[in-house]
Structure 1
Amino acid sequence: MDMIEIKKGGVYTVVSSSGDDKPMITEGEYVGYAILGEEGSLVLRVSSEGKSKLRLIPVGTISYIEFDEENMVSKNKEDDKGKTTYFN
């Protein structure tokens, strides 16, 4: 299997724990990776009430990430340099 890549500008659905009984579902554009305290976080641009906001989702709270197959593997690696984040 090829490596799955999360690319800046791609739209993803992230399901994470919210502290409630129900998981939090976030759909937005991936804009990068940030450190929140001592933990890494995905940063997604989300729209709410007509406003664009950034949402940091700590990696440890993520249950799963959904995206289209066409966004999984880069067709031209040179075009995506600097746009890709890899997770272990």
Structure 2
Amino acid sequence: MDMIEIKKGGKYRVLSASGGDDSITTEGEFVGYTVLGEEGAIVFRVKEKDRSFLRMIPVGGVFSIEFDNEDLLKVKEKRDEHEKTTT
């Protein structure tokens, strides 16, 4: 199996710990990685109703990441096009 990466700009659904007994679902665009305290975190741009915000999810709290392969391919194609014009 090929290595699967989450790509900037890709749309993902993340199931993660919420701090209590329940989990939280985040649907949004992957923005990048950061450090939250001493732990790595993934950052998503979330759009809900009339507002947009960034959500940092500690890597240790991630249960699953769901995605549509076509979303990843679209991002990869854009990247490939950019690489063709710069080389």
Residue equivalent to 1:85: none
Q: Deviations over 1:24-65 (max 9, x none)?
A: 100000000000111110000001341110000000000000
* RMSD (CA atoms): 2.1
- Partner Cα separation in structure 1 for residue 7 and residue 82 of structure 2: 8
Residues 4 and 72, structure 1, Cα contact 8 Å, conserved in 2: no
Q: Which runs of 5+ in 1 are unaligned?
A: 82-88
Percent sequence identity is 53
- Rg larger in 1 or in 2? 2
Structure that is richer in helix per residue = 2
Question: Letter of the aligned partner of 2:51 in structure 1?
Answer: K
- Partner Cα separation in structure 2 for residue 33 and residue 43 of structure 1: 6
> How far off its partner does 1:77 sit?
7.0
Residues 13 and 67, structure 1, Cα contact 8 Å, conserved in 2: yes
The two structures have a TM-score, normalised by structure 2, of 0.79
Q: How many matched pairs?
A: 81
Where does structure 1 differ by over 3 angstroms across 4 or more consecutive aligned residues?
71-81
The two structures have a TM-score, normalised by structure 1, of 0.79
Q: Which runs of 5+ in 2 are unaligned?
A: none
